[in-house]
Structure 1
Amino acid sequence: MSITKEEALKYHSEGRKGKIEVIPTKPCYTARELSLAYTPGVAEPCREIEKNEEDVYKYTAKGNLVAVVSNGTAVLGLGDIGPHAGKPVMEGKGVLFKRFADIDVFDIELNTHDPKEVIRAVQLLEPTFGGINLEDIKAPECFEIEEELIRTMNIPVFHDDQHGTAIISCAALINAAEIAGKDLSELKIVVSGAGAAAIACCNMYMLAGVKRENISMFDTKGHINKTRTDLNKYKAQFAQDIVYKDLADAMKGADVFIGLSKGNIVSKEMVKSMAKNPIVFAMANPDPEISYEDAIDARKDIIMATGRSDYPNQVNNVLGFPFIFRGALDVRARKINEEMKMAATKALAELAREKVPEVVINAYGGKEFSFGPEYIIPKPFDPRVLWYVAPAVAQAAMDTGVARKPIEDMNAYKEQLQERMGFSTEIVRVMVHKARKNPKRIVYPEGEEEKIIRAAHSVYDENIGLPILLGNENVIRNKIKELGYEENIFEIIDPTKSPKVNIYAEEFYKKRQRKGVTKKDALDMMKIPNYFGAMMVELGDADAMLSGLTSHYPQTIRPALQCIGVKEGFKIVSGMYIVIIKRRIFFFADTTVNVDPTAEQLAEIAINSAETVKMFDIVPKIAMLSFSNFGSAPYPQSQKVAQAVQIVKSKRPDLIIDGEMQADTAVVPEKLETEFPFANLKGGANLLIFPNLDAGNIAYKLLQRLTDAIVIGPILVGMKKPVHVIQKGDTERDIINMSAIAVVEAENAKQ
């Protein structure tokens, strides 16, 4: 990846300067809200905290706030550039905390080289922060600073330059040693570099099982051995009896090279002199101690890692610190101890052995990854790192007695982490839990597609449903084999060869014989997966169908309507999206099917959508939207909406509905209560019925593209049996979520 100087400067200076801002988490728009946020309302939490200091975690952001503290003496390979020049890095660190673990950060730059002043300044910050991340402070002062802060403070203190690299590279070393067929206790390790990161790495390796006497460490003056008299106490721990004349001498027969120094100091010949299946972690950045190209050219049996993102096995600290702090904050740990660090290491090592999900593959340009020499640590954009590492750290904190707020249900905690980052949503997890109680048979007409196979495997693995894949059996089985899945978990049917095709064709012919379909037409159509799958659902050989990944929307709906049809008592189907924005949940309908519905059709859409909303254990509160507020603009378009409201009220008096109303009236409770107190939508609406397809489609797409809203769907509403349309851009997780919704719908229909 190439980034120019101009691009970097423009990125940091355009618009709002820098990379961070502070945003209120509570509404602060009205005079009343401001009075609650500040005086006089703020006095109440102050009084409670005065009585019990622990309540500071209840009434303030302390529990999710970390200070990134630096004096700019060892910045990013730039050296001692000072606190001002180091500030962009500290802001960047804050961005990473937020992006990967939803932790808020204030960056604190201290204008001092005196470790005692740094220590005192940080100690005074304890009431403000839930944790302290020390950053870019040079050795050996960083050791003294961290040790004293850990000793004297009652919140987690973590120097990422030391322990971040140590944790990540140790996870990589554990996996590399396994692949190389070597025992950690027997590894002969050569380390170039003797600063904070190198010493912390070696300490972590020893915790994992490496022997101190097998570590040969080099600083700028050469090999660290017992003949030297210039060693500080941290380096002296690694002084050996043996004396190596230089790095090349030490690397002969070595199993592992760890580079934490500077670029281009290791030659091909030095790598060639290493033992069988050598492990080389050249982590100097941006120029490794030996280039990736030279290293793999020197040895075909090498296991190589660098600090760069453009080569396999990037040792990136972002795999560690956000998730370590997340776990520590969530149990309100007093410190981050060695057991918590090792728990993070082992969690990362274990995750690298798991099958890589599609979301990660997509993040890296579609490239496949599997455990082996080119994949020994997870990728930074693997969202699973959060709910692997943070719970492991939290559990270790509880096990070692440093947690002040233990987690009672670790599975629930993992789900909360997933929800926190938007990977999954609470509303979808409700459906997943419901689906697991009564898994159903789900037919996927696009069974040859790899994404469908991956999703279907997860649907089976998570006990959501029993997948049925349609398509060429040989093609599907070969892809299942390539993906490393067990074949017997899938039912595979080729519609062109199925003995059921004639039965389905006959039944379809009975339905459509007066609509222009001949027996031959019916037989030909049943060989089309979408028709075959829809008839499986209609005749009870499957409970639900999902399709649309490779076809246009009508190509999925049309077969479903012709084979299954609309729910009894209704005349149309409609499309609905779930929109989650700023932790509020809305349902938008109709967004995909009906271009210009009549008043009667709008009423049907509202009633059917309300029943679907109930599946999510949510009470529907329906707003029928228009450009008019309760007759303020009496045009035919708005009068149609008002008429639809009356139809719903007459047919379903149990439903909470009102309109016609403008969109802001529907979603801003204060506006509704102040200007239209007669309306019965107390607290605002959650189900928004749009007057036509233009409005609905435009609304959800604008929210999807211009905001951070999570948009789930479309959910096809009004079918007699569950059929849902997945879209071309849907991820594996989207398909899994829709499968869960379909299973719950099938169970509801059965009951």
Structure 2
Amino acid sequence: MNKSYYLAPLQADTDTESVAKSLAQLLGNSPIHQVFKEGLPSPEEWILKSEQSAQQVIDTFSNAGDVLYDGTYSATSASLDITEVHAHAAAHLLAPMILLIDASGMDEEAAINASRIMALTASRHGGTPAGTILINATFTPSVGLEHAPVATVSGSKVDAADLENLRPILQNPPRVAIPPLAYQGMLTERAKAAPRTIVLPESEDDRVLQAAAQILKLSAAKIILLGEEGEVAARAQKLKLDLSGAKVVSLSDESLIERYGQRLSELRSDKGVTPEKARELLKDSAYFGTMMIECGDADGMVSGACHTTANTIRPALQIIKTKPEVSTVSGAFLMLFSDHADLYADCAVSINPDCNQLADIAASSAKTAAQFGIDPKVALISYSTGDSGSGETVTKVAEAVKLVKENHPELAVDGPLQFDAAIDRKVAATKRPDSPVAGQASVFVFNHLDVGNCVYKAVQRTAGAVAVGPILQGLNKPVNDLSRGALVADIVNTIIITAIQAQE
């Protein structure tokens, strides 16, 4: 378990040296890193250039291990809310916050109120307050704080014994909220740990080439581009991209056509695919890329930037096929919020699944969620919670839930649930008080593509969530589809997701 912490002083130029050393000692002599030292973003930059600042800090400290981050800072603009800055920095460092307040001139009420306001502000901006240290305090608090334990010190110098009240929280760190950029960074590190080979069939699209260059720079995957080497090189030069680490494979490579064609005709002979027909199919880059996976030359494929979903999925269904325990391929999205990640399905493939297919989608979605670090609590969504309503889709959802419970008794699953009952604990307490899922769902399974697709896009646009996907679920090997409107960042994320799937 990560035991990094972030020391967040409220006042500028606070002498944090003895506080930081004492905290580090209690944490097992963790190294101390200054967050605002020269070369790293200043507090002002965290407001003016927030995403660039977050990325720089993530890149700098991604392999730091268990660390105490010291957020000491010099005087800043009077209009800058330093607690907001601390919260952003701590969140992207995945570190709970130890709030530090110089209580000089404060009575007990003022100091406690300052701590409460600081904790509330930090929480609203994605931070996770875990404890408070009051230095230069002339009192011992007679009341506790809702958010954290408090350590009070009469002077400005602190030793480990002064922080005994914080020991429980230091030994058992609270779970921190993970912002989207940090979550994506974690996924990148997972992909880098065991790089897989991903084939990209659409080298004619500049976005694909740009994404490939970024992946190679990150060392997140090995890349195969389907196309002609001269054409790819010329386009890369014009775009000023370094694609020297990519392998370019021609669709006209006769040795591969012979090998892939023979295997394809064997696999599809019962469908009338002769070697000649197979060679014809291999002119389609999606078939060619899928055969690379089938023949062990690639571990996964990402396509769809300039082709339809059907064009991407059809070869995969015909050649790679579904896992033995799965009969339904579905499309899920990782929804990255400011403080957590959820999974929504099916939002891309299955239009109107029956109860068996819906149960399949729910089970696949739980596995996908777990694969990407989400504790799966599966809610099957309907316009009714429990037996409060009736209708065809309500019955379908109820039957699907029954099937999931029978076939996967280890899963936390419930439905039908209305969306509010699935996510809101107060609503759940009224509508579904005994549910293991209601009020705390992390996997949302929709009973119709109309619903799933509309909900994920509505949440993406109105709640500011980052939608990563679609992730195709249920195939024996990973093939993932892109929207034809995909941004370069979307393609990068999908390649990383595919590389992680290929590690399983």
Give TM-score, length-normalised by structure 1.
Answer: 0.46
Match of 1:108 in 2: none
Q: Aligned with 2:198: secondary structure?
A: strand
Distance 1:668 1:512, change over 3 A: same
Amino acid at match of 2:302: L
Match of 1:430 in 2: 186
Q: Identify the match of residue 448 of structure 2 among 692, 698, 703.
A: 692
Match of 1:384 in 2: 52
Contact 1:573-1:716 at 8 Å conserved across structures: yes
Amino acid at match of 2:208: I
Rounded Cα–Cα distance in structure 2 between residues aligned with 1:331 and 1:535: 51
Distance 1:501 1:653, change over 3 A: same
In the TM superposition, residue 565 of structure 1 has moved relative to its aligned partner by 1.1
Match of 2:458 in 1: 702
Match of 2:249 in 1: 493
Match of 2:103 in 1: none
Rounded Cα–Cα distance in structure 2 between residues aligned with 1:599 and 1:632: 19
Distance 1:154 1:653, change over 3 A: closer
Rounded Cα–Cα distance in structure 2 between residues aligned with 1:708 and 1:541: 38
Q: Does 1:617 align with 2:285?
A: no
Match of 1:451 in 2: 207
- Equivalences, count: 382
Match of 1:512 in 2: 268
Match of 1:591 in 2: 347
Give a deviation string over 1:351-410, Cα, whole Å, max 9, x none: xxxxxxxxxxxxxxxxxxxxxxxxxxxxx9895366559999xxxxx99x96799xxxxx
Kindly report which structure 2 residues correspond to 1:71-220, keeping only aligned pairs within 5 A, or say none.
none
Distance 1:443 1:449, change over 3 A: same
Q: Aligned with 1:489: secondary structure?
A: coil
Contact 1:344-1:390 at 8 Å conserved across structures: no
Q: Does 1:478 align with 2:478?
A: no
Contact 1:430-1:616 at 8 Å conserved across structures: no
Distance 1:628 1:387, change over 3 A: closer
Q: Identify the match of residue 404 of structure 2 among 648, 652, 663.
A: 648
Amino acid at match of 1:738: T
- Unaligned runs of 5+ residues in structure 1 are 1-56, 64-129, 132-152, 156-329, 334-338, 349-379, 393-397, 406-410
Distance 1:634 1:486, change over 3 A: closer
Structure whose alpha-carbon radius of gyration is higher: 1
Amino acid at match of 1:521: K
In the TM superposition, residue 416 of structure 1 has moved relative to its aligned partner by 6.4
Q: Does 1:521 align with 2:277?
A: yes
Q: Identify the match of residue 476 of structure 2 among 720, 723, 748.
A: 720
Amino acid at match of 1:384: Q
Give a deviation string over 1:136-167, Cα, whole Å, max 9, x none: xxxxxxxxxxxxxxxxx869xxxxxxxxxxxx
Amino acid at match of 1:477: A
Contact 2:286-2:315 at 8 Å conserved across structures: yes
Distance 1:546 1:332, change over 3 A: closer
Amino acid at match of 1:611: K
Match of 1:164 in 2: none
Contact 2:417-2:438 at 8 Å conserved across structures: no
Kindly report which structure 2 residues correspond to 1:305-454, keeping only aligned pairs within 5 A, or say none.
383-384=51-52, 387-388=55-56, 424-454=180-210
Distance 1:412 1:726, change over 3 A: farther
- Unaligned runs of 5+ residues in structure 2 are 1-6, 16-32, 61-68, 76-81, 83-88, 96-125, 128-177
In the TM superposition, residue 599 of structure 1 has moved relative to its aligned partner by 0.4
In the TM superposition, residue 683 of structure 1 has moved relative to its aligned partner by 4.7
Rounded Cα–Cα distance in structure 1 between residues aligned with 2:390 and 2:55: 54
Give TM-score, length-normalised by structure 2.
Answer: 0.67
Q: Aligned with 1:747: secondary structure?
A: coil
In the TM superposition, residue 546 of structure 1 has moved relative to its aligned partner by 0.4
Give a deviation string over 1:407-455, Cα, whole Å, max 9, x none: xxxx9997669x99x9953333332121111001010001232221221
Rounded Cα–Cα distance in structure 2 between residues aligned with 1:644 and 1:711: 26
Rounded Cα–Cα distance in structure 1 between residues aligned with 2:334 and 2:463: 15
Rounded Cα–Cα distance in structure 2 between residues aligned with 1:412 and 1:463: 26
Q: Does 1:672 align with 2:457?
A: no
Match of 1:532 in 2: 288
Rounded Cα–Cα distance in structure 1 between residues aligned with 2:225 and 2:52: 27
Q: Does 1:565 align with 2:321?
A: yes
In the TM superposition, residue 331 of structure 1 has moved relative to its aligned partner by 5.8
Amino acid at match of 1:442: I
Contact 1:455-1:735 at 8 Å conserved across structures: yes
Contact 2:424-2:438 at 8 Å conserved across structures: no
Contact 2:54-2:181 at 8 Å conserved across structures: no
In the TM superposition, residue 516 of structure 1 has moved relative to its aligned partner by 4.1
Match of 1:660 in 2: 416
Amino acid at match of 1:592: A
Q: Aligned with 2:380: secondary structure?
A: strand
Q: Does 1:636 align with 2:304?
A: no
Identity of aligned residues (%): 30
Give a deviation string over 1:486-524, Cα, whole Å, max 9, x none: 554110001123421121112112222222434322111
Distance 1:543 1:550, change over 3 A: same
Contact 2:92-2:182 at 8 Å conserved across structures: no
Give a deviation string over 1:630-667, Cα, whole Å, max 9, x none: 11112222111100001011101001001111111111
Distance 1:582 1:402, change over 3 A: closer
Contact 1:549-1:726 at 8 Å conserved across structures: yes
Q: Does 1:464 align with 2:220?
A: yes
Q: Aligned with 1:569: secondary structure?
A: coil
Contact 1:602-1:691 at 8 Å conserved across structures: yes
Contact 1:668-1:684 at 8 Å conserved across structures: yes
Q: Identify the match of residue 740 of structure 1 among 484, 492, 496.
A: 496
Rounded Cα–Cα distance in structure 2 between residues aligned with 1:746 and 1:343: 35
